[in-house]
C-alpha cells in the first residue's frame, strides 16, 4: 500500500492553466493571443514523460510555466507539492527544477567548461568543497571530465548539449525539463545524450519531462501527452497512442519509424495493428515478421516497387576541387582535400557527425569563406565558369548559389515579411515593379499566402519563418540552393511540408545541397549522399549503396534500416534459412512492400 502511494505522488500538477500574451503588429496595434487554454495534467514523481504536439501548440510555454520561467494568466501549477504562486517558496521550485534548452548556446554562460557547470550551484550559495565535488561528479557523469579546463565555445554541438545537462545535474534537480534538447544533435550524440538522461531517471529517480518532435525518442518514454491548441487532446503509454495511427496523424504527428513499418506491412496484409504489437521494438519486429509470413492477403500490384529516378550523369553545375581549410592558422584542418562534383538538378545530402566539417564546407560554396587550398567553381548555362577565389566574381556567385543556414529565422530582420524577402533585390537595384512581382512569386513558391506579406516575420510560426527565410534566398533565383538542416525543430507535419517544398524546387530546376543529421530523411529524399568524417570526404554515392551492409562505410544507419534488419532476422529465424532480401527501401511503405515481395518470392521458389 505504501509503495502504491509513493508511485502516485505527483511531481507536477497543472490545473486549468491559461496563458495569454500580447502581440503588436507593424502599426503598433496590440492583440491578445492564447498559448494555453485551460490545460490540466498530472506528472507522477520519478516518471519519464514526453510532450508532443505541433509547433505553436503550447508545449514550451507549459514547460516554462512548470519551471516558473513564466507565470500563468489563470489556473494553478503545483511543483513538488509547492504552489507556483507561493512567492515565499519560489526558489524551492527553481532549485529543484532544471531546464535544458534546444540550443545549448542559449544557456552556456561560463567561458570555461567547469565554470559553466559551477554557475548554477554557485548561485544557490553552494560553497567549496561541495561545489567542487558537484562539478566533478557532473562532468564525470556526462563524460566531459577531460574537457573541464577547455573553452566552452570550442566544444562540438553534442558536447555543448552534454555540458548543458552537466550544469543541470550539478543543481541536483528532482525535475529535469528537456525542450527539444536533441534537435541539433547527430545520431550518435543524440543517443549518448538520451542514454545519460535515462540513466539519470533510472539511477537518481529524476522526473524527466521531454518536449520533442522525434517520435522514436518519445517511444522511449513511459507516458505521452499530446498538446494541441493549448490543451491535452491525447495521453497514454506510447504503444497505446501509436496503435491509433490515424488519430496520431490527425494531430499533426507521425508514428515512430518502427511502428510506421509495422503499420504499413500489416495494412497490406489486411491486419489491424494493436497496442500489444508496439510494446517495444523487439515485440514489433517479431509481430511484423509473423504477419509477413502469414497467409498472403495483398495483391501483386500492391507490392510493385516505385521506380527510383536517381541523379543521372547530367552536367556538373558546381565543382569542389582539393578544398582544404583550417581556422586561426591551426595545423588541424577543419576540411581536408574535399573533391565533389554536384550535378545539375539533383538533391545531394551531406551527412556526418557534429564537428566533421559540414558547415565549413557549405560556407565555401558561395564564397562566405574563401579557399586556402583548392577551389570552388560554378558552371553557368552560358558556359561561363566562376570561382570563389576571385573577389570580382563573388557577387555573381552569390546570386546563383543561395545558402539558408540552420535556424534561418535568426536571419530575419525586417518589419514585414515583404521587406525581408525584398532586401536582396533592393540591394541589387532592381526596379520596384519587378521586385514586387518576384517577391510574390518567391512567397508563393514556398507556400506563403500573399496576405502574410504585410505581417511581421516575428509573429509567424517556426515553419512560416523558415519559409520566409527561404523565400528571401529564392527571390534571387539561384541555380543552386544550399540548405543547412532545413527541417530541424519543425514538427512532423512541418518537416513533411518542408521536404515536399524541396522536391517541388527540384522539379522546377533548382539543384539542392542538403545538410542533415537525419539519416532517414537523407535516405528518403536525396539522389546521392556525401559522407564526411573528421573533415574528410569518406564516400559519395546513392542511398542504397551508402547504407548497404557491404559498403564498409562507418556511419549511423537510418532507423528504418535498423528495424527492418530486426524484422528480416525474425523471418529468417522462423524459416530457418537465409532469404534473398532486396536492399532496404527509402521509406517505410516501400520497405513493407519490399519485405512482403521477398517472402512471396521465397515461398514460390520453395513450393516449386
Q: Name the residue ranges covered by the structural domains of the chain.
A: 2-236, 260-307+576-607, 316-541
Per-residue pLDDT, 384: 93
Burial class (CB in 10 A: 0-12, 13-18, 19+), 128: exposed
The winner for highest mean pLDDT among 15-24, 432-441, 558-567 is 558-567
pLDDT single digits (tens) 152-183: 988 877 788 889 889 988 988 999 999 888 88
Q: Whole-angstrom Cα distance, residue 213 to residue 244?
A: 18
State the pairing for strand pair 511-515/223-228: unpaired
Confidence at residue 288, expressed as pLDDT on a 0 to 100 scale: 97
- Distance between CA atoms of residues 235 and 226, nearest Å: 6
Judged against a pLDDT cut of 90, whether residue 600 lies above it is answered with yes
* Cα angle 542, 408, 558; round to 5: 30
Mean pLDDT of 122-134: 91
The mean pLDDT value for 269-275 works out to 94
Q: How confident is the model at residue 28 (pLDDT cuts 50, 70, 90)?
A: low
β partners of residue 320 = 340, 376
**CB neighbours (10 Å) of residue 375?**
15
- Per-chain mean pLDDT for the chain: 89
The CATH-assigned architecture of domain 2-236 is 3-Layer(aba) Sandwich (3.40)
Residue appearing with cell numbers 540552420: 406
| pLDDT greater than 80 at residue 406 | no
Report phi then psi at 202, rounded to 5: -75, -45
- Summarised one tens digit per residue, pLDDT across range 352-402 is 987 788 989 999 999 999 999 999 999 998 999 999 999 999 989 998 999
Helix ranges restricted to H, 294-388: 358-364
- Residue whose C-alpha is closest to residue 472's, from 540, 526, 515, 416: 416
Separation CA 414–CA 305 (nearest Å): 47
The mean-pLDDT minimum among 177-181, 288-292, 564-568 falls in 177-181
For residue 441, what are the CA distances in angstroms to 436, 444, 478, 503? 9, 5, 14, 17
CATH 3.40.50.300 describes domain 316-541: yes
**Is residue 102 exposed (0-12), middle (13-18) or buried (19+ Cβ within 10 Å)?**
buried
pLDDT digits (tens, 9 = 90+) for 213-229: 999 999 999 999 999 99
Cell of 179: 525542450
Residue 2 clears pLDDT 60, i.e. is over it? no
C-beta of residue 293 within 8 angstroms of C-beta of residue 599:
yes
| Burial letters 504-528, b for 16+ CB under 10 A, else e | ebbeeebbbbbbbbbbbbbbbbbbb
The fraction of the chain above a pLDDT of 70, given in percent, is 96
Amino acid at each position: 500500500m505504501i509503495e502504491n502511494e509513493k508511485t502516485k505522488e505527483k511531481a507536477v500538477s497543472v490545473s486549468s492553466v491559461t496563458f495569454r500574451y500580447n502581440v503588436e503588429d507593424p502599426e503598433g496595434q496590440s492583440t491578445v493571443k492564447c498559448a494555453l487554454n485551460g490545460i490540466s495534467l498530472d506528472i507522477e514523481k520519478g516518471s519519464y514523460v514526453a510532450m508532443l504536439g505541433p509547433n505553436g501548440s503550447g508545449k514550451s510555454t507549459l514547460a516554462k510555466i512548470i519551471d516558473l520561467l513564466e507565470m500563468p494568466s489563470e489556473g494553478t501549477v503545483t511543483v513538488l507539492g509547492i504552489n507556483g504562486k507561493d512567492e515565499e517558496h519560489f526558489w524551492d521550485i527553481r532549485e529543484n527544477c532544471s531546464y535544458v534548452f534546444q540550443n545549448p548556446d542559449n544557456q552556456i554562460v561560463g567561458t570555461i567548461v567547469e565554470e559553466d557547470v559551477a554557475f548554477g550551484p554557485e548561485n544557490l550559495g553552494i560553497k567549496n568543497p561541495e561545489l567542487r565535488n558537484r562539478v566533478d561528479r557532473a562532468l564525470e557523469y556526462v563524460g566531459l571530465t577531460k574537457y573541464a579546463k577547455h573553452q566552452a565555445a570550442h566544444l562540438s554541438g553534442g558536447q555543448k548539449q552534454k555540458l548543458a545537462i552537466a550544469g543541470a545535474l550539478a543543481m541536483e534537480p528532482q525535475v529535469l525539463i528537456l525542450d527539444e534538447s536533441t534537435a541539433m544533435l547527430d545520431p550518435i550524440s543524440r543517443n549518448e545524450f538520451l542514454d545519460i538522461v535515462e540513466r539519470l531517471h533510472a539511477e537518481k529517480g529524476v522526473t524527466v519531462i521531454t518536449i520533442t518532435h522525434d517520435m522514436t525518442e518519445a517511444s522511449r518514454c513511459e507516458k505521452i501527452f499530446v498538446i494541441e491548441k493549448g490543451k491535452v487532446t491525447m495521453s497514454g503509454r506510447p504503444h497505446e497512442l501509436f496503435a491509433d495511427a490515424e488519430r496520431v496523424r490527425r494531430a499533426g504527428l507521425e508514428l515512430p519509424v518502427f511502428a510506421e513499418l509495422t503499420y504499413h506491412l500489416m495494412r497490406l496484409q489486411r491486419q489491424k495493428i494493436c497496442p500489444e504489437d508496439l510494446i517495444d521494438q523487439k515485440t514489433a519486429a517479431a509481430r511484423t515478421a509473423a504477419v509477413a509470413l502469414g497467409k498472403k492477403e495483398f495483391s501483386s500490384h500492391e507490392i510493385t516497387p516505385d521506380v527510383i529516378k536517381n541523379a543521372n550523369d547530367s552536367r556538373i553545375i558546381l565543382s569542389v576541387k582539393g578544398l582544404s581549410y583550417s581556422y586561426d592558422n591551426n595545423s588541424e584542418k577543419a576540411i581536408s582535400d574535399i573533391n565533389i562534383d554536384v550535378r545539375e538538378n539533383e538533391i545531394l545530402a551531406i551527412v556526418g557527425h557534429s564537428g566533421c566539417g559540414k558547415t565549413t564546407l557549405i560556407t565555401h560554396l558561395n564564397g562566405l569563406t574563401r579557399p586556402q587550398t583548392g577551389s570552388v567553381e560554378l558552371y553557368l548555362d552560358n558556359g561561363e565558369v566562376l570561382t570563389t577565389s576571385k573577389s570580382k566574381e563573388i557577387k555573381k556567385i552569390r546570386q546563383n548559389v543561395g545558402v539558408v543556414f540552420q535556424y534561418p529565422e535568426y536571419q530575419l530582420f525586417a518589419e514585414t515579411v515583404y521587406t525581408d524577402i525584398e532586401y536582396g533585390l533592393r540591394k541589387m537595384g532592381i526596379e520596384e515593379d519587378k521586385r514586387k512581382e518576384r517577391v510574390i512569386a518567391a512567397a508563393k513558391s514556398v507556400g506563403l499566402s500573399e496576405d502574410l506579406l504585410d505581417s511581421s516575420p516575428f509573429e509567424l510560426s517556426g515553419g512560416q519563418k523558415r519559409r520566409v527565410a527561404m523565400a528571401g534566398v529564392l527571390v534571387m533565383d539561384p541555380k543552386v540552393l544550399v540548405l543547412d538542416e532545413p527541417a530541424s525543430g519543425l514538427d512532423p507535419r512541418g518537416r513533411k511540408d518542408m521536404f515536399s517544398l524541396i522536391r517541388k524546387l527540384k522539379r522546377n530546376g533548382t539543384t539542392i545541397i542538403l545538410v542533415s543529421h537525419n539519416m532517414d530523411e537523407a535516405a528518403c529524399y536525396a539522389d546521392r549522399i556525401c559522407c564526411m568524417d573528421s573533415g574528410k570526404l569518406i564516400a559519395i554515392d546513392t542511398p542504397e549503396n551508402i547504407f548497404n551492409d557491404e559498403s564498409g562505410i562507418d556511419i549511423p544507419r537510418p532507423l528504418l534500416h535498423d528495424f527492418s534488419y530486426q524484422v528480416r532476422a525474425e523471418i529468417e529465424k522462423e524459416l530457418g534459412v537465409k532469404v534473398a532480401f532486396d536492399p532496404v527501401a527509402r521509406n517505410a511503405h516501400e520497405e513493407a512492400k519490399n519485405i512482403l515481395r521477398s517472402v512471396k518470392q521465397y515461398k514460390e521458389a520453395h513450393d516449386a
